Chains A and B, each alone.
Chain A
Amino acid sequence: MTENRQGYIISGLCAVALGLVLTLGTGSPFTERAMGLWTDCLVWLEQPASHLRGFYWTGRKWVLERRFLIDKLSKMEEENDALFLSLHLKDALDLRDFLLESTVNAMVDLRLPLSWWKEIRINQGGMDGLSPGDPVLQNGFLIGRVNRVDCSKSWITLLTSTEEMTPVVIRETRDVGVVVGDGMGGIWLCYIPLDSEIKAGMNLDTALISEIIPPGVPVGTVTDDMRDNEQGYREYRISSGADLSRLYDVKVFRRGDKLP
């Protein structure tokens, strides 16, 4: 500040007084004309701001509408599922009853040490509706197929047998391969295309290759253990969902029964 503060104060008071005097012109035609002219001059400056505000509101509206539509869609899907379920509940119950009737429980009554990983014998046979080729399950997982059937006994060839080859599909990648036993308790996934990206933890189901085994029966999961065979194909060890070293009771799916 300069020494002469008086001039500064007088200037300031004059400016304030002038401002107060100007307020008396509020609403006058001259003021309105001046406001209009000044607003027109500032259009170039305020136009981008207006556009930005417009973009914001449009975006906000779009987001809200999208959220509303997604909520509406999910509600409609839930309603559709409920309607579908109520419509087909009877069919589903009939199918469930049929599947329960088609499976028969059996006890393992013989498992020879020399063919421990090859076959087992169960206490159900032809009189109980079993036929060769019927899939055998434990805990819902495939463990083998019926090989020979007597009147009251049946021999089951296990997945761990070297004679058993089961076509499977990897649930995550839809690649088709073959599951083969090594005769020593191991199950290996073979003949997988070289470009397939198989990872540990992927699930295997029986494939719709032939009518030997119905498709979609769970087999097990892929493990980290792998090896290369002579042809250069990579083979993966499979962990069965069943406990193949302790088989006491199993379920046999009787294919003789036709689905409804």
Chain B
Amino acid sequence: MIAVLVFAWCLQDFLQALFLGWTNSPDVFLLTLLTVGLLDETAEHRYLWIAFIGGVLIDLRWTGVPGMHGALFCVAYMTSGLFWAFIPKEGRVPYLFLSLITVNLVVVALFRWVLSQVGLPIGTASFGAWVLLTVPFILISWLYYCWFYRRENV
């Protein structure tokens, strides 16, 4: 799973370089981290620090504020993990998972937009483009969870 997360981080970096000056890249790394981390309940500590390291590396490359994304991703993953643990196994339906990852992505994106100096003037067009780019990844993640949910036969 570490390899998947490394690939997701590289993909997010590639997309960020591709859409530079137009819109922000979808948070593929956070999405993958939530998908993988919430399904693997044996190593939540490890995923927490992976979230931190991944966020710091994003900061070092793009934001110039080291630790901002690290802290942000940690908060997102930790609150999601606690919420997910609070839900009984029978209640972890795919729609709940979809809602959880969507809320996480939107909150993180809005937070980033508000924090960045260029975020506010970018306006709705850029945010709309970000939503369009993010939706396919959310759907892939949700379909993966649906497959996992059926396989677990909850």
A interface list, Cβ under 8 A from B = 1-2, 5, 7-9, 11-12, 15-16, 18-23, 25-27, 31, 34-35, 38-39, 42, 45-46, 48-50, 52-53
Contact = CB atoms under 8 A, between A and B. Distances in A.
Contacts of B105: none
Contact of B52 (A15, A35, A45): A15
Interface in B18-46: 18, 20, 41-42, 44-45
Query: What are the 6 tightest A-B residue pairs by CB atom distance, in nearest-first order?
Result: A22-B67, A19-B71, A1-B85, A12-B78, A49-B17, A19-B70
A9 B81 CA distance: 10
Given A16-B75, A39-B61, A52 B18 contact: yes
B131 interface: no
B85 A23 contact: no
B82 interface: yes
B138 interface: no
Nearest to A28: B66
A52 B22 CA distance: 14
A23 B65 contact: yes
A35 B60 contact: yes
A22 B56 contact: yes
A53 B22 CA distance: 11
Given A5-B82, A9-B78, A35-B61, A19 B14 contact: no
A23 B14 contact: no
Given A34-B60, A38-B61, A15 B71 contact: yes
A42 B61 contact: yes
A50 B49 CA distance: 31
B85 A16 contact: no
Contacts of A9: 78, 82
A38 B57 contact: yes
Given A1-B81, A22-B56, A45-B13, A31 B71 contact: no
User: Main SS of the interface on chain B?
Assistant: helix
A8 B61 contact: no
Interface of B: 10, 13-15, 17-18, 20, 41-42, 44-45, 48-49, 51-52, 55-57, 59-61, 64-72, 74-75, 77-78, 81-82, 84-85
A21 B10 contact: no
Contacts of B44: 1-2, 8
A53 B70 contact: no
A15 B60 contact: no
B80 to A, nearest CB: 11
Nearest to B79: A12
20 contacts: A8-B44, A8-B81, A9-B78, A11-B49, A16-B71, A19-B55, A19-B68, A19-B74, A22-B66, A22-B67, A22-B70, A23-B66, A26-B65, A35-B60, A35-B64, A42-B13, A45-B10, A45-B14, A49-B17, A50-B17
A49 B18 contact: yes
Contacts of A20: 67, 71
Contacts of B84: 1
A9 B59 CA distance: 23
A15 B70 contact: yes
B41 A1 contact: yes
A15 B48 contact: yes
A186 B19 CA distance: 71
A101 B97 CA distance: 89
A26 B48 contact: no
Contacts of B61: 35, 38-39, 42
A46 B19 CA distance: 11
Given A19-B69, A26-B65, A49-B14, 7 more contacts: A12-B78, A19-B55, A21-B67, A22-B70, A23-B71, A25-B66, A46-B17
Contact of B14 (A5, A16, A39, A48): A48
